[in-house]
Copies of this chain bind each other. A is one copy, B any other.
Amino acid sequence: MAKLALLGGSSVVQPSGASSVNPWAYRDLEEAFVRYTGARYALAVTSGTAALISALVAAGVGPGDEVLTVAHTWVASVAAILRCNAIPVFVDVDRRTFNMDIEDAARKISPQTRAVLPVDFFGLPANIPALMDLAASHGLLVVEDACQAGGAEIEGRKVGSMAHLTAFSFSGKPLSGEGGGVLTTNDRRLYEKAALAGQHPSFLSRHITDPDLRPYIDFGGRGDNLRPQKVLTDAVLHDLYSADLRINARIANCEFLTEKLSATGVIRPPHVPRGYKHVYHLYTCLLDIETAGLQRDLFLAALRAEGIPSTSYITHANFYFTEGGRPLAAGPIHLRTVFQEMDFYGKGCPFLCPHATRRPDYSRGSLPVTEWLADREFSLLQPSLSYPNGKKEMQQIVDAIHKVLDNAEELRTADPASFVGGAGRG
């Protein structure tokens, strides 16, 4: 009965302007990202947040589960946990690296802990090898938030190849500023489960091989739409070709700053442990406010008045986070409104989920180092650190910082709102 077909189809013209879903459009980026990171599998998604959500879904994180993470991070690391109806348990950070404190992580593991979500904050990898050891001894999975750290390394291994699952972002990041995100893993089953978080049925029907998972294809897995558009993934792919060139130029600028700022005595430049490659999404220092005799926000107001793009990422959420030109107060994640109220998502979900076994502790004082850092850290923002800027511009930054520090006494009596680009605390 092939006769009918053999009569010849009429082959109606498909106008090129009428695009349809092309579920394979982003395979090029995925393949390039596998080569770049050394991971076995890569999944392109709409954002770093979407990569984190996909990773947590792959890790089987659900209602009542606890996930260890840090409060010294961008909102996405924590929002992704809430998205899976799981409960963030905050671990304090290391005073030098600003990243997850391994000993505090070990202390906070409970029978409800399902995963550990360390953040490679500001571009410096967390201590992933130590966390993988810790996770192995407790049967946990490590979901690495490398959204700010694409291109970073530990002992020559690129982030993305070490943790069970790693999330990347390309929204204004050193690797690419074009938008979207990618998830990597070395485990085929985790890759397939991550795809079930939000890929198209047509994509899933080709990439899900596990017979336990295939029945869920017909609803697109969880049915979220986390698919990036080709116009985005093509732009990121283009950036990937020059990623290490650009990142290395940026590192050279930051190392110049570190050499010069170390000499101030009151500014502690970013600490980079031996064997680590920091990509400096932000260049984040500590201001020794006691020795400088200057509050951090006053210092920042003066620095911005000098034309240096800078912020307190944690305290003011970020540089753009302004109201009438003034940064709004935010602070570490555990102190923000959603966590203090535990009610924004409806009926106490997920914090006070009936499946949870204890009430989370988001009190002030619960994370001493995180809270101590919040009053002392400041960041130089990423555009000014990038190629084609070089030593000349870095020296301008150093000069401006010296100028502010040299005028500390005069500044102490000032109203920060009186500065150009003022920086009151909300």
Contacts and interface: CB of A to CB of B under 8 A. Distances in A.
A273 interface: no
A217 interface: yes
Contact of A15 (B23, B48, B336, B388): B388
Contacts of A369: none
A59 to B, nearest CB: 11
Interface string A176-217: 011110000000000000000000111001100000000111
A178 B9 contact: no
Interface residues of A, number: 116
A57 to B, nearest CB: 9
A50 B225 contact: yes
Contacts of A231: 178-179, 231-232, 235
A49 B224 contact: yes
Interface stretch (A119-127, A133-141, A258-266, A315-323): A315-323
Interface in A351-395: 354-355, 381-384, 386-389, 393
Nearest to A404: B4
Contact of A420 (B9, B12, B48, B354): B9
B49 A225 contact: yes
A220 interface: yes
A147 B30 CA distance: 28
A288 interface: no
Contacts of A60: 346
B307 A85 contact: no
B9 A308 contact: yes
A317 B201 contact: yes
Contact of A9 (B2, B307, B328): B307
A233 to B, nearest CB: 11
Interface stretch (A36-44, A154-162, A411-419): A411-419
Contact of A344 (B47, B216, B330): B216
Contact of A14 (B12, B48, B309): B309
Contacts of A323: 205-206
A79 interface: yes
A370 to B, nearest CB: 16
A96 to B, nearest CB: 27
A391 B171 CA distance: 45
A420 B381 contact: no
Contact of A347 (B64, B302, B396): B64
A232 B7 CA distance: 43
A47 B309 contact: no
A345 interface: yes
16 contacts: A2-B419, A4-B403, A14-B383, A18-B177, A18-B382, A63-B345, A64-B347, A79-B219, A83-B224, A171-B225, A178-B231, A201-B317, A205-B322, A218-B336, A219-B338, A231-B232
Given A12-B389, A354-B355, 16 more contacts: A9-B305, A10-B397, A10-B400, A12-B309, A13-B388, A13-B389, A21-B318, A21-B320, A49-B224, A65-B346, A180-B229, A201-B330, A215-B337, A222-B345, A231-B231, A347-B355
